[in-house]
């Protein structure tokens, strides 16, 4: 903002107003006034007093509206801005949310995404990404600290995944929303499904700044029910993440049956043997536990000069300008009427 412009513009407005009200110069013909005898009683009439009162209030209101318009105009001319000082010396934790969206997981995914959304509310400076996968993977959004974008994307994901895949009757719009979200997670050239190792490997490759000293974590959500031959098995993908200094934490969600118990046991063993945390997805302490673990990791600060960011904010005065001008025109119109 240019502060010195405000008094200058206000001064110009005051001078212009004084020039307009200054008595006219000599030699200019004055308007003739016709005096009417015995008209003093008019001033005592109620109608006259009421109209004079309205006139005085109208003039006062009009002057106030004009002053508001002048102040708003001068402020806008001075270009109000927000000044933010941003530093790259923030906690450099990167987190990838790695979500299984195969058919057996759809019924659990909405609640899990909502847990992710709750987790984001506690972040300050961390970058977060969302990757979804079935037999292929899709990056919903890459690593970012734009939490408004993250919140919007997670809310959209929760709505899209809130679909009963086993229902005989469903809304066509809901189905299209789900299909749009799942686009890119299924290759129809193979009958494979829920390739957990490949999904985890793709998430491990989602981290940028490979040479930077950063804290990296993956939150893997799956039932570990693999159908088909993956490129990476779950242990191989976990080893790949460990080689890249990526901590992998597991959330498990599945209907109870014999095959799921075996899959759960392998999933827990792979995660915990490499230092990760393992939780049931419906455990109320799951999100809090993982967040605390991630927060406990050493935060590395990057050396960087502070950056001053200027953001134009005309919205703070534009409404006052419109309101003042509109009120002034309304008062003038009403007084003339």
The answer to whether the beta carbons of residues 249 and 278 sit under 8 Å apart is yes
Estimate the crossing angle of helix 234-243 against helix 196-204, to 10 degrees: 10
Q: What is the pLDDT along the chain (337 residues), one digit of tens a residue?
A: 455 555 655 565 555 555 554 554 444 455 556 666 666 666 777 777 777 777 778 778 878 877 877 777 777 676 666 665 554 544 578 899 999 998 888 888 888 888 888 778 777 778 899 999 998 999 999 999 888 899 999 999 999 988 877 666 778 888 888 889 989 888 777 778 889 999 999 999 999 876 677 788 999 999 998 988 899 999 999 999 999 999 999 998 876 665 678 889 999 999 999 999 898 877 767 767 777 776 666 455 444 455 666 667 666 676 777 777 777 787 777 777 6
The answer to whether the beta carbons of residues 78 and 2 sit under 8 Å apart is yes
Q: pLDDT tens digit string along 26-78?
A: 444 555 566 666 666 667 777 777 777 777 787 788 788 778 777 777 776 76
Judged by phi (left if over 0) then psi (alpha if -120 to 50, else beta), residue 221 lies in beta
Beta bridge partners of 227: 193
Candidates 146, 129, 104, 48; CA nearest to 263 is: 104
Residue 258: CB atoms within 10 A of its CB come to 7
């Amino acid at each position: 903002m240019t502060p010195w412009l405000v008094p200058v513009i206000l001064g110009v407005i005051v001078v212009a107003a004084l020039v307009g009200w200054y008595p006219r110069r000599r030699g200019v013909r004055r308007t003739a006034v016709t005096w009417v005898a015995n008209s003093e009683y008019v001033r005592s009439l109620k109608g006259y007093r009421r109209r004079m009162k309205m006139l005085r209030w109208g003039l006062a209101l009009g002057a106030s509206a004009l002053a508001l318009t002048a102040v708003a105009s001068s402020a806008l001319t001075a270009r109000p801005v927000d000044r933010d000082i941003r530093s790259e010396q923030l906690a450099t934790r990167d987190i990838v949310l790695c979500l299984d969206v195969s058919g057996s997981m759809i019924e659990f995914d909405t609640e899990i995404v909502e847990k992710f959304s709750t987790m984001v509310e506690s972040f300050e400076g961390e970058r977060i990404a969302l990757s979804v996968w079935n037999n292929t993977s899709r990056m919903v959004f890459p690593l970012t600290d734009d939490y408004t974008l993250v919140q919007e994307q997670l809310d959209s994901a929760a709505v899209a995944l809130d679909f009963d895949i086993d229902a005989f009757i469903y809304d066509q719009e809901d189905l299209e929303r789900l299909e749009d979200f799942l686009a890119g997670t299924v290759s129809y050239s193979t009958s494979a499904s829920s390739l957990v190792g490949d999904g985890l490997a793709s998430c491990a490759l989602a981290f940028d700044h490979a040479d930077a000293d950063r804290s990296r974590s993956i939150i893997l959500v799956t039932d570990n029910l693999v159908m088909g031959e993956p490129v990476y098995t779950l242990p191989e993908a976990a080893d790949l993440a460990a080689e890249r200094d990526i901590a992998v934490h597991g959330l498990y969600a599945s209907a109870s049956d014999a095959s799921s118990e075996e899959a759960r046991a392998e999933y827990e063993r792979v995660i915990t043997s490499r230092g990760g945390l393992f939780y049931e997805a419906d455990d109320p302490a799951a999100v809090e536990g993982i967040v605390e673990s991630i927060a406990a990791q050493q935060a590395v600060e990057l050396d960087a000069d502070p950056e001053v960011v200027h953001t134009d904010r005309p919205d703070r005065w534009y409404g006052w300008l419109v309101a003042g001008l509109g009120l002034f025109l309304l008062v003038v119109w009403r007084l003339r009427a």
